[in-house]
Amino acid sequence: TLLAYVFVQPLYEPSAAQLCDAGLELNRITAPDALIVAADTGDPTIFYYAERKGWHFLERDAIYAGNSSDSQQAIADLEQLRRRGATHLVFTANTFWWLDYYPEFAQHLAESAELIEATPEFRIYKLATVTR
State the total domains in the chain. 1
Q: Is the pLDDT of residue 9 over 60?
A: no
- H/E stretch holding 88 reads strand 88-92
Q: Is the pLDDT of residue 36 over 90?
A: yes
Q: Is residue 9 part of a domain?
A: no
Q: Is residue 1 part of a domain?
A: no
- Single-letter amino acid code for the residue at 68: S
**What is the strand order of the sheet 122-127 is part of?**
53-56, 35-39, 88-92, 122-127, 113-118
pLDDT of residue 15: 66
Q: Is the pLDDT of residue 44 over 70?
A: yes
Structural domain harbouring 46: 16-127
Q: Is residue 10 part of a domain?
A: no
